[in-house]
Every structure is written in C-alpha cells, then in structure tokens.
Amino acid sequence: MTGSEPTPRFRPELTPGIEELEAQERRLVFRRFTHDDAWALGSLLVRLAGERQAPVAIDIHRAGQQLFHAALPGSTPDNDAWIRRKRRVVERYCASSYLVGTRFRAKGGSFEESSRLDPDSYAAHGGSFPIRVADVGVVGAVTVSGLPQLQDHRLVVEALERFLAPERD
C-alpha cells in the first residue's frame, strides 16, 4: 500500500429503519402460497445459504403446519429454538421479527422489557418474515436462524425478492 491510497476502514452495515422494513413487507406479497411454493422458496434459501456457507436452519410454516425445514452444516438444535421464538413474533404481530424489534427499540425500550411476553417463547430478533397473501393476509412465516439477526433478515428478504420477481410470473 502506498501513502497515497486511503486506509481501509470498517464500515458497519446500515441498519434499516422502520419505513424501509415496512416497505419490504408491502412489496413482498404472494398471490397464493402452496406447498410447492414452500418447497421452491425453501430450496432457494438452501441454495443461497449454501453458496455463502452460512450455518443456518431454515423453516417455512403455513397455518400452523411446517411445510419446509432444512438444517445446513454448522447449524445446531439451538437454531430451531430461535426459529420457533422468532416465528411466534410474526404470528402474533403479523410483521417481521426484525421490524417488531425495531419498533420496540424506536420507542426507547426493548421487546424483552416492554412486550410482557415470555422471552423463552418469543424473540423479536431478525430472521422471520411473514408470508402475506394478497387479499388474505398473513398465512405463515419463513424463518432463518444462524447468522447475526440483520443477516438472517436480509437473507430471507433476498430470497423473497428473487422468488417474487416479476419474471417468475
């Protein structure tokens, strides 16, 4: 490195705000969500995580039924516990687990302190996203656990964006 080149710096990931997270949820809506869709979306997540060697577990639930589950190398049973806790937040609030946690932090508190829900059953940490069907509402959740919460959230959003891309129509 010569003296004229800038010194590399660590740049933390920008944390999305409430408006951006809400926009994701308005944008990422299904026309329908079938068993085949769950398999295809789950398989896409497995492929994306595998390409990154991400040690994650992946889960897709609809109407109380698990339609897809995969545990990639490096994931642990603890990831399944996190999946259940994050998914319960989506089911209760009909919003992504990351958005719910962000809303509580924006009010000056934390989900754990302010929600009055059992932290052994609910976790407003990123990685679970509602499966919302147009003209129906939230019918389930797609959840990833194993990375830092923002990365879990972003992996799910990336997969949903690819899955719902207009060229799939």
Segments making up each domain of the chain, as ranges: 18-168
Regions in the chain scoring below 50 on pLDDT: 1-11, 169
**How many whole angstroms separate alpha carbon 67 and alpha carbon 42?**
9
**How many whole angstroms separate alpha carbon 131 and alpha carbon 32?**
10
Backbone torsion region of residue 37, taken as left when φ is above 0, otherwise alpha when ψ lies between -120 and 50, otherwise beta? alpha
CATH superfamily of 18-168: Haem-degrading domain (3.30.450.150)
- What's the predicted TM-score (pTM) here? 0.89
CA 133 to chain centre: 17
**How many whole angstroms separate alpha carbon 34 and alpha carbon 40?**
10
* Beta strands per DSSP E along the chain: 57-62, 65-71, 128-133, 137-145
Q: 24-73: per-residue pLDDT in tens? A: 999 999 999 999 999 999 999 999 999 999 999 999 999 999 999 999 99
**How many whole angstroms separate alpha carbon 37 and alpha carbon 97?**
22
